[in-house]
Structure formats: C-alpha cells, structure tokens
A and B are shown apart, each in its own frame.
Chain A
C-alpha cells in the first residue's frame, strides 16, 4: 500500500533525452516521505505493476504504459537537492507500482546514489528476481521493504490476482542469504489478512531470519477508492472496514512474540 501521491513536478518536466538505458518511468515523486523507510525520504513511485491488489492505494500506478519519463541524472539531481534533509537515516526510496519491473534501469540510478553517499531503499512485492534485480539488491540496495501480501496461496491469489506466494518467500530467502537488511510490510484488512492465525503463520515462517530489522503493519483504509473509480474499475473491498485501535494493538502483540521491532504505520 502506497501513500504520498503528488502530481508530478512541473519542476522536473524538463526536456528528456530519449535513450532507453537511462530512463525511468515515474508515476510521481514525494519530496517529504516519512512513511516509506527510515528518516526523511525522497520517494519515487515508479509506474507499472503486474499485480492488481484489491486494496491498492495507488491503482493509477498499475498500468505499465503510463507515467512520465525521467532520466537518471534528473532523478539524481532531485535527490541531491534533498540530501541536506536526509540526515543520518533518510535517503531515497523507490516504490510503485513495482519498482523491480525497472530493475535494469535502477542499477545505474542506485549506483549514482551510492556514489553520492545516499541511502537506497526498495519497496517491493518481491516477485521479480532476475539477474538485474539480484545485482541491484546485492550491490546497491541498502534496505528492502518486502510486502508479504498473504500467508496462504488462495488468499494470495484472491488478493493480488496472481498465483504463487512462494515467489515472494523465495525473494525473502535470497535477501536473507545476502545478509543485508530487510523490513517486512503487511497490510491488515479485517477478516482478510487481519487474522491471528495468519499473523502467527508469518511469525513462525520468518522468525529465524536475521536480516529482518522491523515489521511494519499497515492499517487498512479506503483513501484510494476514488482513484479506482476514476479509472473506471470496480473497488471490490467496499464492504471491508477499517481496523480498530484494539485490533491493531493485538496484531502488534502477536508479532512481538516473533520479532524485536513491530510497528503500525
């Protein structure tokens, strides 16, 4: 689930030199991201996603053909302007959409960010693990935020429209093997993903992972509905309700049995 959608900047709609290698397809940019990774972050929402999650907060990022093209240098320039605000923890997060659809193009972008000493973070559903994605993760990505959609196969299919949750789990295993930091994210939809047995399942499955620094539970809300309507799509979770504070507390308590740091976003 993504937040912080702002209209693409006039400021950055500059003339673009089209060479596919250094172009990223961007949905929008938020210059003051405080919920997508540590500290203050420049959040670049990339266009395109192969999933169509029922609760998607940014359904307008799903279509792979939309968005605006930015050169990597343009994006680096924006990041550098923000660098004084990153402090010790902040940096750049690429989110989406699914950023790893553009893993190949992200390599030179993250490489440049690392050269500038900027912390890099990918917010992903973990369904892409090609050689580009591996290189990006291993060499240039300081933090991965992996969205565990659902703990059962049928739940995963119902929620995302795609099968095989194992892909996401394999991704987690790959990150674990690399020894580099990872956060898990999980959206709590009452009666769908917000069930004690699912939370326990997640805890049991991942409890021995040493690279997981934090679990972020994301309460469910319907702020994205109007976007679904604007796209002419039907929002199927109309009947779902928001979590109560007590429910959220209970969910946190369950996962605290397995992980050191659990928070709701």
Chain B
C-alpha cells in the first residue's frame, strides 16, 4: 500500500496545472460499467437538499436571505447541510440555500431583490451604501453618456453587466489542491516584487490588484480553518483534492455573484488523485463516486440573490457552474478519465440537473465508449451540452481550457474574459429602414442613414444603411463596455478568482449579438422576394408585405446562410476596429441565453414576416418552424457561421423527440454520437441537445410538482423547466422539435 509519487515536471518549479495534468493523467478508453450508485450518505444528503429546494420553490424561489451581512470569503461561519453525512463540506452561508447580499455590483439591485420578497437590507447597510460606499453600478452611471443610456433603455443594448457582477472569469480552482495556498502566496509575492516603476496607471493598478489577490488567498486559509481544513498545504489524498478544489470555488462564489461563474475543467485533474488512492487501496469506487456526487451536490446548491427582472435575460436562476469534460491533449492522448464518467454519473445518482453546466469537449478522437456514454446521458437527461474540442484546440491554442459561462473558450489560469452581454442585431437592421430612428419611438439613434421612402426595399440600399447602423451601434456598444469593465475592476475586483490566475493574464472581451436568424431571413426576403414596408404616419415601419418566396436560414441553402455568416463577420469586424479597455482581444458570440424572448418584445416587425414582439430564435438557431428540411439541414446552416468571426461561441440548441433519433436505445445513442461527429466535422462550435417529447413539457407546465428535476437545455445552459416563466415555457415548446413520425 504505497502511495505513488506524482510524475515530476515543470509544474514542480512553476505554477503550471497543465503540465501536472499532462504528466499524470490516466486516459480511460473503457465503458461506463465500472460506475456505482450513490452511497448511503450521499442519498441522505441529497434528500435534505431536495427538501431544501422544494421549500425554495414554495417560497417564491428564495428559501431564506441574510439581510445583515455583506457576503465575503469569511463573512459567514461554517455551514453544513447534515454534517454527519457530508464528506465534502462548505456552504456559501451558514445555512443551506440561504442567499447572501453581495452589494458591490449594485446596491439598488440588492434592495430590489430583497423587497420582492418583502425584505430590506439592515439600516446600517442602507446607510453605508447610500452615504459612504460606492458600487460598480454607481461608477458606471457616473460615466455613462446620454447616448449609451438611450441605446440601453430602447433595447439596442441589453443585459449589460452594469448593475450586477460581470462574472465569466474562471479561477483555476485546481491550484489550491495541487500547491496549497502558502505556495500560491509566495508566487504572488514574487510577482509583486517584479512589478515596479515607472508608476504608470497600468503598473499601479497591477500592484494594487496583486496585493488584493494576496489578501484573498490569506482569507481563504482562514475560511478553510473554519471548516477544520488546512488549505495552506497541498491536498494529500483524493478527498482533500476534491475538498480543496471546492473550497477555492466556494471562496469565489462567496465573494462574487457574477452572472456566470464556471468551474473550469477539474474532473480529470481530480482523477489523478483518485487514481492514486484507488491504486494504493486507500479508497474504493464507492468513495470515489461519493466524493464527486457530494462535490456536485454542493455545486447544485450554489445560489445568488437576484431580482426578478434578471430572470428575463437569465431565466431559471442559473449560476453557470460550467465544467468542461473530455477533449484531447495536444499530444493526441485523450483527457477522458474515469472521473469524466463519474461526473456524468451524478446525473443518474442525483437525477438530472441544470448545474453544474456539464459541457463535453467533443473530439473526433474521443474514445468511442465515452462518446456513446455522453450520448446516452444526453438522451436520458437533456442536461449536457457539447462543444467542438478539435476546432478550439486548433484555433485557440491551449488544451487546458474551460468554458466561461455558456459556450466560451477560456484558457485556465492564464487568461480571463470580460463579459459583454449582447446587442440586438435585428433591431439594428430596422434602423437601416427607418432613417436611423428607433422603430417604436422614432428616437434618432444613428446619424447618416437616409429616410427610406421607396415602395419596395432594395437589397443594396438596405445593406448600405445596415452597415452604417452596425458601425455606430458597435461604437456605442464598445463605449459602454469600456466603462463597465473599468468600473468593475475599480469597485468590484474579483480578487479571489484572480488570485488563482497568473498575474497579468491575457484578456478577451466577449461581445455578443442576438437576432441573427431574423437578420438573415430579413435580408434574404429583401434580396429574393419583394418586400414592401408598411409605414405609419411618422414614417416608421410597422409591418411588411412579402410577395414571393425566399430561402430561409436553417435549410442548408447558401443563398441565405451566407447572409447570416456575412452579418456575423461584418459586425465582428466593426467591433475589432475599436480600442478596448486593458487592450482586450475582441471576440464575439452568437448566444442569447433566454433573452431571445425579451429581445423579441423590444423589436418591431421585421422584413422576414416576423410580427412585432415575437420572440427571436435562441442563439444561432434558425427561426422556429422555418427549418423544414430535417435536422441535418438545420445543423448545416448553423455550421456555416465561421468560428473565426465569432470566437466567443456560436450557440445552437437542438431539440428532437426520442423516437426520431432512432427506434431503439442503442440506435439512438449511435445516431446522436454520429450526429455530433458530423456537426463538429463541419467546424460547428456548440450544440445543446434536448431529447424530449413536447407532451411531457406540456404536462410539466400543468403539473410542475411532478417534474421538480425536469431539465432542458436552452441557449448555452440548462434550466429546471418548471422554474421558467409561462412565457418562456411556451417559447421552448414552440421551438422546432425535430420529429419525423
């Protein structure tokens, strides 16, 4: 019973998780048959969690809130669910599902969220935040121009992280387990010593940031002590590796309530510790699965205090604890390990769940057994999503990456991203038809676009105007982003997460667009049919008459698909011309989260025949019901959007009824795995997979209590179906479900 020593490498000299994983990983090519069910402790603990979430639903989505304490790494005493059964410990507050205030993103949001539950912050806190303490939100609005405010209030820019924490940053949570915090502090101190004058803004800021990080690391040691854990040293066994990693993540979600706070890619890292203990006979498969089940259970219980309006853009109370699983190493070995399977197995042991947001990094070269198991899990649970590892590895450069938020590549520990919400590209197109005015209010938005008075829309004229509109919208969008991220760094710096990332990491700014399929179909209608705008007395378009047929996005027809990919490329190019705060690299996504419903509401009738107020398709999906050539044709259309023009991700949600996937379970698994191979072979980037019957969703709308864990994928994440609003539920149901019989 000798404990194996880890293989040595660069990681011994420098903080380098990639090297440690590459040197010590045990790739696994076998089947899932080694997996075991939940332990007795896990089952009891999960019962307590289920009871807690039931009470949460009964209490209008919030079980309890602390109105006295400002959350922070050590703001609360140790909290337990049921200590005797907890193998992995730690809660954000001192009580299960109790939410905490994190007011530095914006105090008004905290007040609003509390008032919606009949509560308010303590008087002391109210006084502090109205008189003395400035928040990110206060800073942003001090700097916003009237123009930005106008774009924001009319819905050209939506969901901007200007009154809540930006999120998206992924700390390399593995670091504490591998190195222990003492070593990490020493490394940061060493970095700080080299950051010297001349004292430019940049140097001063970096010195301040690294000092903040060191403080956070010290706080984490204290947090560990409150749970009787010595995080100052490396983890010595598998349970500690899981526990230490969770503690690192816990520190992050105690300090911040970022919109999306991904976990990274911890599974195969943890596998190294688990394999070592298994080999030494210290644990059995039951314990190995128990650690992962309980870790995942804790991740499922992460909560933030949100106001109801937040639900419009991010429905169902998501936290995006995104864990990337699988993929390949640059040397051709797979990153799939037994613990990759163990993570997926939690969806059986604990039942389906939106969190953690399990993302499979899919490669043509993944072991076939793993591909099949992933397909099986997708079919059984509709809880996981897939991203193209071959594409990202080839074009982004690192094989050690996680998925920030929903779909975005992020190298771990070496880079971060600035969350950029998104702009409404369909509404931008309407500017081109309305002389640069908002189609609802007539408010002038963009200068230099001539009033359009022709009876029929002319494609070339529309395109010329659309380009002017895109350029100006990009400019204002960029202005808003620069302000937001400057202020976030200043007032709500992510010191815990940043302490687990290299000093001075590379940054990309994650812009986004919504309404792509509307834009593509509208341009196609104008180009291939005759489109006559109906204008009101103000000269604003209120409707369109379409004469003739036109190709629609989603049918594998280049005539319209290239209009979609062209619009993505053009808007991305406009964004690229503009300078970004901290010299961040420009990337863009085609992703909507659930905001496609609210964007639709804020957008007038469009030339593709979509009526005013009708929801957009999510992400890069074709518009509902317009993809009428079967699933593959629809996938092929989306795959034509060039990843180079949309490096932050291209989200596609694929919904199919089980029967259409194949007659037997075996065929369904094989066909789904083959579909993923085909889709990604075509350089597509992302796919959500739902395998569901509409009848079940309709039944769940009527009888939500019977479906507490029913999970469905929406653009880039998953939600508990029963936690969506009625409107969002209906939108999901009206989407294209590929069905054939």
Chain A residues packing against B (C-beta within 8 Å):
3-4, 6-7, 9-12, 29-35, 39-40, 42, 78, 81-82, 84-90, 221, 223, 263-265
CB-defined contacts of B670 to chain A, threshold 8 Å: 39, 87, 89
CB-defined contacts of A221 to chain B, threshold 8 Å: 741
With both beta carbons as reference points, the residue of chain A lying nearest to B673 in the complex is identified as A87
CB-defined contacts of A35 to chain B, threshold 8 Å: 662-663, 740-741
Report the 5 A-B pairs with minimum CB-CB distance, sorted nearest first.
Answer: A85-B678, A11-B557, A31-B630, A87-B674, A32-B631
- Cα A11 to Cα B664 in complex, Å, equals 31
29 A-B pairs with CB atoms under 8 Å apart are A4-B630, A4-B741, A6-B630, A7-B629, A9-B557, A9-B633, A11-B551, A12-B557, A32-B630, A32-B631, A32-B738, A33-B740, A34-B661, A35-B740, A40-B671, A40-B675, A82-B636, A84-B682, A85-B635, A85-B677, A85-B678, A85-B679, A86-B678, A87-B673, A87-B677, A88-B674, A223-B741, A264-B663, A265-B663
> Contact between B557 and A10 (Cβ–Cβ < 8 Å)?
yes
CB-defined contacts of A10 to chain B, threshold 8 Å: 549-552, 555, 557
Closest chain A CB from B663 CB (angstroms): 5
With both beta carbons as reference points, the residue of chain B lying nearest to A265 in the complex is identified as B663
> Contact between A6 and B663 (Cβ–Cβ < 8 Å)?
no
> Contact between A34 and B682 (Cβ–Cβ < 8 Å)?
no
* Residue from the list A6, A29, A34 in contact with B671, Cβ < 8 A: A34
Considering only CB atoms and an 8 Å cut-off, how many residues of chain B contact the other chain? 34
Tell yes or no: B237 within 8 A of A by CB. no
With both beta carbons as reference points, the residue of chain B lying nearest to A30 in the complex is identified as B630
> Contact between A31 and B667 (Cβ–Cβ < 8 Å)?
no
* Residue from the list A12, A34, A78 in contact with B660, Cβ < 8 A: A34
With both beta carbons as reference points, the residue of chain B lying nearest to A42 in the complex is identified as B632
* Residue from the list B555, B677, B740, B741 in contact with A84, Cβ < 8 A: B677
> Contact between B741 and A3 (Cβ–Cβ < 8 Å)?
yes
> Contact between A86 and B674 (Cβ–Cβ < 8 Å)?
yes
With both beta carbons as reference points, the residue of chain A lying nearest to B558 in the complex is identified as A11
> Contact between A84 and B556 (Cβ–Cβ < 8 Å)?
no
> Contact between A11 and B629 (Cβ–Cβ < 8 Å)?
yes
> Contact between B628 and A31 (Cβ–Cβ < 8 Å)?
no
Closest chain A CB from B84 CB (angstroms): 46
> Contact between A4 and B740 (Cβ–Cβ < 8 Å)?
yes
Closest chain B CB from A9 CB (angstroms): 5
> Contact between A30 and B677 (Cβ–Cβ < 8 Å)?
no
Extra A-B contacts (4), CB below 8 Å, given A33-B630, A35-B662, A35-B663: A3-B740, A10-B552, A34-B661, A42-B632
Closest chain B CB from A35 CB (angstroms): 6
> Contact between A11 and B663 (Cβ–Cβ < 8 Å)?
no
Q: A32-B738, A34-B667 are in contact. Are A7 and B628 (CB under 8 A)?
A: yes
- Cα A6 to Cα B555 in complex, Å, equals 12
CB-defined contacts of A12 to chain B, threshold 8 Å: 557
* Residue from the list B633, B662, B674 in contact with A11, Cβ < 8 A: B633
B556, B662, B670, B740 — which one has the most chain A CB atoms within 10 A of its CB? B740
B661, B673, B675, B681 — which one has the most chain A CB atoms within 10 A of its CB? B675
- Which B residues between 612 and 646 are near A, CB-CB below 8 angstroms? 628-633, 635-636
- Cα A11 to Cα B552 in complex, Å, equals 8
- Cα A211 to Cα B675 in complex, Å, equals 29
- Which B residues between 573 and 596 are near A, CB-CB below 8 angstroms? none
CB-defined contacts of B628 to chain A, threshold 8 Å: 6-7, 9
CB-defined contacts of A29 to chain B, threshold 8 Å: 629-630
CB-defined contacts of A87 to chain B, threshold 8 Å: 670, 673-674, 677-678
> Contact between B629 and A31 (Cβ–Cβ < 8 Å)?
yes
CB-defined contacts of B678 to chain A, threshold 8 Å: 40, 82, 84-87
Closest chain B CB from A222 CB (angstroms): 12
> Contact between A39 and B629 (Cβ–Cβ < 8 Å)?
no
> Contact between A9 and B555 (Cβ–Cβ < 8 Å)?
yes
B716-741 interface bits toward A, Cβ cutoff 8 Å, 1 = contact, 0 = none? 00000000000000000000001011
* Residue from the list A3, A85, A263 in contact with B632, Cβ < 8 A: A85
Closest chain A CB from B390 CB (angstroms): 12
- Cα A112 to Cα B557 in complex, Å, equals 22
> Contact between A90 and B664 (Cβ–Cβ < 8 Å)?
no
With both beta carbons as reference points, the residue of chain A lying nearest to B555 in the complex is identified as A11
Closest chain B CB from A84 CB (angstroms): 4
CB-defined contacts of A32 to chain B, threshold 8 Å: 630-632, 660, 675, 738, 740
With both beta carbons as reference points, the residue of chain B lying nearest to A34 in the complex is identified as B662
Closest chain B CB from A81 CB (angstroms): 6
CB-defined contacts of B673 to chain A, threshold 8 Å: 87
- Cα A9 to Cα B551 in complex, Å, equals 9
A29, A82, A85 — which one has the most chain B CB atoms within 10 A of its CB? A85
* Residue from the list A3, A81, A90 in contact with B674, Cβ < 8 A: A90
- Cα A53 to Cα B682 in complex, Å, equals 41
CB-defined contacts of A3 to chain B, threshold 8 Å: 740-741
CB-defined contacts of A85 to chain B, threshold 8 Å: 632, 635, 674-675, 677-679
- Cα A6 to Cα B629 in complex, Å, equals 6
With both beta carbons as reference points, the residue of chain A lying nearest to B676 in the complex is identified as A85
- Cα A6 to Cα B635 in complex, Å, equals 16
- Cα A87 to Cα B551 in complex, Å, equals 29
- Cα A40 to Cα B738 in complex, Å, equals 14
- Cα A35 to Cα B678 in complex, Å, equals 18
> Contact between B632 and A82 (Cβ–Cβ < 8 Å)?
yes
- Cα A31 to Cα B660 in complex, Å, equals 12
- Cα A6 to Cα B736 in complex, Å, equals 13
- Cα A35 to Cα B667 in complex, Å, equals 10
- Which B residues between 542 and 586 are near A, CB-CB below 8 angstroms? 549-552, 555-557
A84, A88, A264 — which one has the most chain B CB atoms within 10 A of its CB? A84
* Residue from the list B556, B633, B671 in contact with A39, Cβ < 8 A: B671
B681-722 interface bits toward A, Cβ cutoff 8 Å, 1 = contact, 0 = none? 110000000000000000000000000000000000000000
CB-defined contacts of A78 to chain B, threshold 8 Å: 556
> Contact between A263 and B675 (Cβ–Cβ < 8 Å)?
no
Closest chain B CB from A220 CB (angstroms): 13
Closest chain B CB from A26 CB (angstroms): 13
CB-defined contacts of B636 to chain A, threshold 8 Å: 81-82
With both beta carbons as reference points, the residue of chain B lying nearest to A9 in the complex is identified as B629
- Cα A264 to Cα B659 in complex, Å, equals 12
> Contact between A31 and B674 (Cβ–Cβ < 8 Å)?
no
Closest chain B CB from A67 CB (angstroms): 16
With both beta carbons as reference points, the residue of chain A lying nearest to B628 in the complex is identified as A7
> Contact between A31 and B741 (Cβ–Cβ < 8 Å)?
no
> Contact between B556 and A31 (Cβ–Cβ < 8 Å)?
yes
- Cα A40 to Cα B631 in complex, Å, equals 11
- Cα A84 to Cα B678 in complex, Å, equals 4
With both beta carbons as reference points, the residue of chain B lying nearest to A88 in the complex is identified as B674
- Cα A53 to Cα B259 in complex, Å, equals 59
> Contact between B740 and A263 (Cβ–Cβ < 8 Å)?
no
- Cα A10 to Cα B551 in complex, Å, equals 6
- Cα A81 to Cα B630 in complex, Å, equals 13
CB-defined contacts of A6 to chain B, threshold 8 Å: 628-630
- Cα A223 to Cα B740 in complex, Å, equals 11
Closest chain B CB from A48 CB (angstroms): 22
With both beta carbons as reference points, the residue of chain B lying nearest to A8 in the complex is identified as B629
B212-236 interface bits toward A, Cβ cutoff 8 Å, 1 = contact, 0 = none? 0000000000000000000000000
- Cα A246 to Cα B678 in complex, Å, equals 37
CB-defined contacts of B738 to chain A, threshold 8 Å: 32
- Cα A35 to Cα B671 in complex, Å, equals 11
With both beta carbons as reference points, the residue of chain B lying nearest to A38 in the complex is identified as B667
CB-defined contacts of B633 to chain A, threshold 8 Å: 9, 11, 31
CB-defined contacts of B660 to chain A, threshold 8 Å: 32, 34
With both beta carbons as reference points, the residue of chain A lying nearest to B524 in the complex is identified as A10
B551, B552, B633, B662 — which one has the most chain A CB atoms within 10 A of its CB? B633
